[in-house]
Amino acid sequence: MAGMANQTDDKEMKELNNIGFDIIEGLHCRNMYLVLQQILKYLNGEDLLNAELTSKAWKAAISSVNLSMFWKIQFQRKFANSPLWNNLHFNLAPSYDLALKDHWYSRKLFNKLQFTAETVTKNLMANDLTKDFIHYVVEESRKIHVNGIDFTKKYIFLPFFGFHIQILNRHTLKVEEEIHLPEEQNLYVTFVLYEDSFMCAYNQHITIRHLITKKTEVFKPPIEDDNYIARLFAANGFLVAGIGLKDDEIRDCHTAMIWEIKSPCEIAWENFVMVPSSVRFCDVFMDQRFLIFAHRPSPPSELQYFIRSMSEPRKKGKVFKFPSRFKICMNNIVHVDNFVVKYCDGFLFEARPKHSTTMILSKYDVQSGITDNVSLKVDLGSQSAFLE
């Protein structure tokens, strides 16, 4: 078998010698893939990837080759079993099926997704640096003063204390935007990341920064002079500004202004809906069906959720209460139980620790009003670790 392989190599080399052209100038000539086969025998997986992605000469040569014959040998043999391939799903579009053999051809795969060798080599071959990065943020947040962390499909959002914001590419961890807001006294700032746009409100203005086109739009909603934008919410095709009073230290809102987000860089500013709330609200959930205000009552007790139809947002609806969260302890000190509330597809989900080994998960159907609770045995370690 070894003798036959040597004879094949000798035959290929003789054929190469008879081609009679300069390699650089004649990349599109017939049998160019034989030249590549000889060269790529001596490349490891990383070098193979770099050559295939970065060199126009390689791409030009490969374009005239039967991919099913060439890459099925070179790519599968050296690249398919590498750590890079195992981590590649992290960056692939959901519609891209790794099980299909047509997707084993690296030129088709990588060119379609517009990756570069530098990005892939530095970030994915190091066993998915995103996990290490998130771990770093959690561990070092006290040192670098990170005021939370948020994600979209493409971006990581890091607001720092001191009017400083970083937006990173989720896949490459490259800083796409670094924003320094004006550090003015009595400047009320709230911001949110929605798809490809960074939305920021300060005092009475809303700024939209599109992270792909790098275009910036500033809009001033028609609100009274003694009001300001206390909170900003964006989800499911809607932008909501919570309007509060400037002398309110709690930063709760009394009115919601709602705009439709037609695209990440197009908002229907002129067609807004002003929705006064009968109670002050601290959070908003919304989609095409429902508009939900979260209210912190005074004196402190359980959180209340005022539910309205998005088709008639001014019309009052039902009120729902999750179990008690706010308690008055000794010396009138307010104790707040740790909890997490999320909204998705017509359901409110709440998770709260009961004690060190148990958590309660509640699901509230906004349409029917039915609530389901389940008690889960888990090793929380501590409540703060569980919530993190």
pLDDT tens figures, 77-92: 544 554 444 444 444 4
Mean pLDDT, to the nearest integer, of 291-305?
76
Burial of 173 (0-12, 13-18, 19+ CB in 10 A): middle
User: Where along the chain do its domains lie?
Assistant: 2-124, 338-388
Mean pLDDT, to the nearest integer, of 22-39?
52
Q: Which residues contact 7 (CB under 8 A, 6 or more apart)?
A: none
Task: For residue 279, report the phi and psi dihedrals to the nearest 5 degrees.
Answer: -130, 160
Residue 125, pLDDT above cutoff 60: no
- Global confidence as pTM: 0.55
Measured on CA atoms in the order 278, 188, 298, 364, is the torsion positive or negative? Answer: positive
Q: What is the pLDDT of residues 218-238, one digit of tens each?
A: 999 988 888 888 888 888 889
Residue type, 114: Q
Q: What angle do CA 344, 349, 351 make, to 5 degrees?
A: 145
Nearest to 275 by CA among 245, 237, 326, 316: 316
Contact in structure between 349 and 362 (CB atoms under 8 Å): yes
